[in-house]
């Protein structure tokens, strides 16, 4: 019991310290900063501002209601993470828990307090959300893109940060090249990420949308969609006199996986042919070269 009382007293002390407007803690060098960083305290919900860098744009109301009921019965098991910003607090991660707590009628919520600049806050919010299972593929792709563009990470560095294969990151980001109508279809679960990956191979946005409507109307599977895409591309890209045995398609798929880039392979009846590797940035070209040299 004594231990519990000490924890509560510590929490109240920290709360008072954090609300001290005359001695605001803005950096690790400020007075009493060592007492704040790394501590968990109860914060008033109305003193927490949401994260402007939040990558999640869809919150399922039914799932929030379920979480709210859990919070009513068990409380908030995992603290949210906030940063001190001026005299207030800004959420870094845990917006679902924050919303569910508000729905449950709670006045306070356990929060892990830390100091973070805008870039750190963005990176932490993006990385934490990427690890969750309820982001749709487009949101994940956008999160990867923001980490690369705004945090200035390479895909290899990003792979290490989020614990995902580079090819996985590439596949999600490629979805962002689809027509916005198709991206919305993925977000609303009319088609899957697998359908989207197949449609990326169609360069014309108009043709993409045409095939997308066919997929939705007929309820085509991913395999059926891949076949539809191949049949759509064949008249445009494959001469009638070309020789395309099964091993050609297999080779193209293996090279695509190896280089994390679109690869096309063509051969004639004598087995002579050519392969083309498409790259979209200097970084991707260097990655392909490293693969060829056995350095990646």
List, by residue number, the catalytic residues: 95
Closest CA to 84 of 13, 23, 9, 27: 27
Q: How far is residue 8's CA from residue 2's CA, in Å, rounded to a whole number?
A: 10
Apex 166 CA angle, 80 and 155, nearest 5: 75
Token pair in block for residue 251:
């080779």
> Looking at the chain, which runs of residues are DSSP E strands?
40-44, 48-49, 80-85, 88-93, 108-114, 263-267, 273-277
Look at residues 183, 237, 176, 187 and name the one whose alpha carbon lies nearest to residue 212: 183
| Tokens, residue 49 | 């501002």
Using the structure block, give the residue that is written with the tokens 């940035």.
Answer: 281
Nearest to 207 by CA among 242, 239, 231, 241: 231
Please report the beta strands in 121-262, taking only residues with DSSP state E, as ranges in sequence order. none
DSSP 50: P
Virtual torsion, Cα 214, 243, 284, 223, nearest 10 deg: 30
Do residues 129 and 93 touch, judged by C-beta distance below 8 A? yes
What backbone phi and psi angles, to 5 degrees, belong to 30?
A: -75, 160
Bridge partners of 82? 91, 113
Do 220 and 214 contact (CB within 8 A), yes or no? yes
Rounded to whole angstroms, how far apart are CA atoms 183 and 141?
11
């Amino acid at each position: 019991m004594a231990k519990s009382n000490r924890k509560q007293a510590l929490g109240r002390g920290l709360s008072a310290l954090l609300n001290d407007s005359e001695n605001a803690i803005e950096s690790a060098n400020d007075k009493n900063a060592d007492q704040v960083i790394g501590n968990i305290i109860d914060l008033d919900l109305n003193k927490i501002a949401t994260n402007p860098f939040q990558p999640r744009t869809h919150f399922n109301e039914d799932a929030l209601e379920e979480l709210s009921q859990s919070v009513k019965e068990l409380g908030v098991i995992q603290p949210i993470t906030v940063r001190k910003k001026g005299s207030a607090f800004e959420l870094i991660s845990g917006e679902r828990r924050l919303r569910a707590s508000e729905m449950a009628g709670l006045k306070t919520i356990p929060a892990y307090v830390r100091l973070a600049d805008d870039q750190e806050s963005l990176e932490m919010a993006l990385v934490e959300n990427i690890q969750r299972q309820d982001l749709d593929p487009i949101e994940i792709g956008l999160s990867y893109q923001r980490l690369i563009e705004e945090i200035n990470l390479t895909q290899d560095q990003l792979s290490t940060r989020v614990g995902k294969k580079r090819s996985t990151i590439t596949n999600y980001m490629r979805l962002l090249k689809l027509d916005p109508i198709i991206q919305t279809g993925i977000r609303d679960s009319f088609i899957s990420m697998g359908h989207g990956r197949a449609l990326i191979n169609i360069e014309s946005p108009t043709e993409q949308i045409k095939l997308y409507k066919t997929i939705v109307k007929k309820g085509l599977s991913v395999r059926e969609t891949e076949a539809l895409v191949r049949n759509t591309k064949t008249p445009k890209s494959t001469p009638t006199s070309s020789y395309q045995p099964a091993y050609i398609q297999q080779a193209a798929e293996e090279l695509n996986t190896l280089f994390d880039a679109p690869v096309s392979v063509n051969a004639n009846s004598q087995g002579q042919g050519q392969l083309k590797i498409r790259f979209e940035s200097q970084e991707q070209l260097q990655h392909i070269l490293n693969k060829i040299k056995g350095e990646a």
